[in-house]
Structure 1
């Protein structure tokens, strides 16, 4: 009996020391693995990656965070197509292991698996779509890649067009709406952060290096999201012409007339596609407002009233909508809509509403562009001499430059417009002949602003 007990103790001690040795080896391997990964010596790091995954998968999450970069490097530098496929598949296994050993890691690994296959043309389109679909439905918060959102939509539309999955047109519209709502949610987060920084700049506060990096990153990502929305619109444009949408929604109205979400999306799509002159749009908008009066439904009724030529009623609904909206972006869009309504009839009112849009959303560059256009259209009305009249274009260029500075999606267009305005302004020769360099030119018309003439 004593011998048996002694033997058990010895076995336990051997196991203890073996585990201790293994743990020590794992710690050493992890340290070297991290060191090589940080210094981008990925081939050396790879020698330690596989043993760490096999022998001590839970020792540290660095295995998976650094391991991703190691395997991405292996994919980029694979010697043969077969070797590349093997590394692509192994990276997806690593993503799975990460989720298994560190659940709730918030790294979007299901999304990464789908895009890994797609970017490297490995596996079938169905495999890619299924992974992206799972990620979108179960890990939406981490589905933030502009490219992935477009890929997800494109693959779904392709399935509809192929006619092999039994997908109906309504499902395509629903998917478009879901992804668009996600894009707008991501844009809102980025632009809200950007607005804070733009307000600091407006108040002559200097941004820190970190804030400048955030500003540049947000501007880049906003530009990417804008491109994706444009590409999605191009993809769906042939499926959503008025001659297709109106009978499609007319057929479904009786069945869906108590479905608030269906009514909202149908009205918004008809408005976006400029099908809002059809009585069906008014019918849907009124039903939506009856069931669920909101800022959105008030806006849609405003559109219907505007289309019917009832400007005063349209303004009443639009102002009501803007006041009800708490989201700065949506509020700005409504104020901008009102500004465009006043564009020709009352330029001062148009500018007033454009500035309201900017108060609600400082990065709403379209308002700066509109003000520039309003000023340009008044060039002949403002100024006591030909020189002063053309000097208005310098002011226009300033507003276009502001649009480029605050709104990444408008940057290229705004820069082109600013260049055009500057080209219409007085030349250096004109400044010399008029002896106006460095002087202030005031515009005492409705504009009520002034500009400093460039010094020669």
Structure 2
């Protein structure tokens, strides 16, 4: 009974002390100190909140990360820096303990605290990332962490570590590429970061990701993943254009398209048809891919690819596809340049007189100039075309002779454009 009353007394005292500590006002105090760059006092005050108010708010942890990182960046020596980094890692543990639902990827942050602060702890970083990617890959959005994870795995493979054999590293490659492709769609504001990470990973993995290696890998893994559309999408993306002639690409492209006709599935069918030299089918699937694409810039890119590739032999259709590309992306300067060259190359074919032939060159020149307005970085390329065509266009004297000053001339053929000449 005496022990019972002693326990009650201890609980009462503890509760009384907790009530005496004003978490909210103390948070305000350290925040003001931190904003004033009074870091020492801000840290001491924040430490009291960390100890006494661990479940008060996530702000305790998000602020603490900033405070500790500031101290790390300004540490007096390596020993102090490492001690602070280790404390930051403990803070991430504490954060996860008290707010687990919003910190499923806390091990990523612990790993990157070591990595970004240049701690010599490669194995520890890899172990933390491996745990995080195995346990919570759906929560990871840090492009640098994804790149770092693959680069460390690849480094172990290159060093001859038996655990990190070619198959395992290709497993990791498939995982991180799928993550980055998905993140580009779900986090468009950071799409450039994810594309940069993806390019870096592809560059690292080029020794492993030959067409033969990838084809063998996906053939071996296919049966286990034949019902997993996300896996098939990742496989098709990784095989891509360079490996689309492989039979496994053909098989997966058809299965993926049969599941649902989307811009992506139609695009893979277009690649497959192209490698099979079935050009009519390739045109059909490219067109369907463009029609189903929701992103205007991506749609424009597909139309441009069609115009400059499969439709190049049919100039009327090539022009139609270029105009569609410009309809969806008016800033696509390369489309104007390609159209200018199309016009310039058919002056003799479509012009009935010498003046009309020169007029078509003038149309090409004016079209090239539109590229500069649409996409200023194309100026150097456009200027070269303009300079080349200037001497082949009607001179002022020739315009005067034809009495075309300020008048318009319609060119038929497949061009079907009206050219307006400058007044005197």
| TM-score of the two chains, using structure 1 as the length reference | 0.70
> Which whole-Å CA distance do the structure 2 matches of 1:448 and 1:160 have between them?
60
Contact 1:354/1:370 (CA < 8 Å) preserved in 2? Answer: no
Q: CA deviation at 1:378?
A: 2.5
Alpha-carbon shift at residue 17 of structure 1 (Å): 4.7
* Distance change >3 Å, CA 342–CA 348, structure 1 → 2: farther
Deviation at 1:175, TM superposition (A): 2.2
Distance change >3 Å, CA 41–CA 442, structure 1 → 2: farther
Report the alpha carbon displacement of residue 372 of structure 1 after superposing the two structures with TM. 2.8
1:374 pairs with 2:338: yes
Matches within 5 A, 1:4-83: 17-21=16-20, 23-24=21-22, 26-83=23-80
Go from structure 1 to structure 2 and tell me whether the alpha carbon gap of 1:188 and 1:285 turns closer, same or farther (over 3 Å shift).
closer
User: Deviation of residue 34 (structure 1)?
Assistant: 1.5
Q: Is residue 143–residue 193 contact of structure 2 (8 Å, CA) maintained in 1?
A: yes
Partner Cα distance (2:407, 2:177) in 1: 47
Which residue of the other structure, out of 255, 264, 274, is the alignment partner of 1:306? Answer: 274
Per-residue CA deviation, residues 82-124 of structure 1 (Å, 9 max, x unaligned), is 1111111111111111121223235843222111111122252
The answer (yes or no) to whether the contact 1:256–1:263 under 8 Å persists in 2 is no
Is 1:420 the counterpart of 2:370 in the alignment?
A: no
CA distance in 2, matches of 1:342, 1:127: 51
How far apart are the structure 2 equivalents of 1:7 and 1:282?
76
The answer on whether the counterparts of 1:371 and 1:399 sit within 8 Å (CA) in structure 2 is no
Q: Distance in 1 between matches of 2:254 and 2:317?
A: 28
> Which of 146, 165, 176 in structure 2 is aligned with 1:179?
176
CA distance in 2, matches of 1:421, 1:285: 39
- Superposed CA RMSD in Å reads 4.4
What secondary structure sits across from 2:161 in the alignment? coil
Q: Deviations over 1:201-222 (max 9, x none)?
A: xxxxxxxxxxxxxxxxx3xx33
* CA–CA separation in structure 1 for the residues paired with 2:12 and 2:209: 73
Work out whether residues 325 and 335 of structure 2, in 8 Å CA contact, stay in contact via their aligned partners in 1. Answer: no
| Alignment partner of 1:341 is 2:338 | no
Does 2:212 align with 1:240? no
* Equivalent pair of 2:178/2:234 in contact (CA under 8 Å): no
Aligned to 2:155, the other structure's residue is in SS state helix
Does residue 147 of structure 1 match 2:111?
A: no
CA distance 1:106–1:369, change in 2 (3 Å): farther
Find the partner of 2:90 among 93, 101, 123. Answer: 93
Give the drift of 1:189.
3.2
User: Is this contact kept in 2: 1:387–1:426, CA < 8 A?
Assistant: no
Q: Distance in 2 between matches of 1:166 and 1:311?
A: 45
Q: Distance in 2 between matches of 1:306 and 1:333?
A: 17
Alignment of 1:79-158 (within 5 A): 79-106=76-103, 108-158=105-155
- 1:357–1:229 Cα change, 3 Å: farther
Superposed CA offset, 1:401-433 (max 9, x none)? 4xxxxxxxxxxxxx2x33321354359x999x9
Q: Which of residues 334, 341, 365 is equivalent to 1:390?
A: 365
Give, in whole Å, the separation in 2 of the partners of 1:451 and 1:134.
Answer: 67
Measured after TM superposition, the shift of residue 270 of structure 1 is: 3.7
CA–CA distance in 2 between the matches of 1:400 and 1:53? 53
Are the structure 2 counterparts of residues 448 and 137 from structure 1 closer, same or farther at C-alpha, using a change threshold of 3 Å?
farther
Distance 1:294 1:70 in 2: 51
SS at 1:384's partner residue? helix
Pick which of 129-138 and 144-153 moved more: 129-138
Structure 2 portions without partners, runs of 5+: 348-357, 400-405
Instruction: Determine the structure 1 residue equivalent to 2:199.
Output: 230
SS in 2 for 1:58: coil
**Matched-pair contact (CA < 8 Å) for 1:37–1:45:** yes
Q: Which runs of 5+ in 1 are unaligned?
A: 1-5, 192-217, 402-414
Correspondence 1:420-439 to 2 at 5 A: 420-425=381-386
- Three-state SS of the structure 2 residue aligned to 1:378 is helix
CA contact under 8 A between 1:260 and 1:288: conserved in structure 2?
no
Q: Distance in 1 between matches of 2:407 and 2:144?
A: 48
Which of 159, 163, 166 is matched with 1:166 structurally?
163
The answer to whether the Cα contact below 8 Å between 2:143 and 2:197 also exists between their aligned partners in 1 is yes
Q: Quote the residue 2:354 is aligned against.
A: none
> Whose Rg is larger?
2
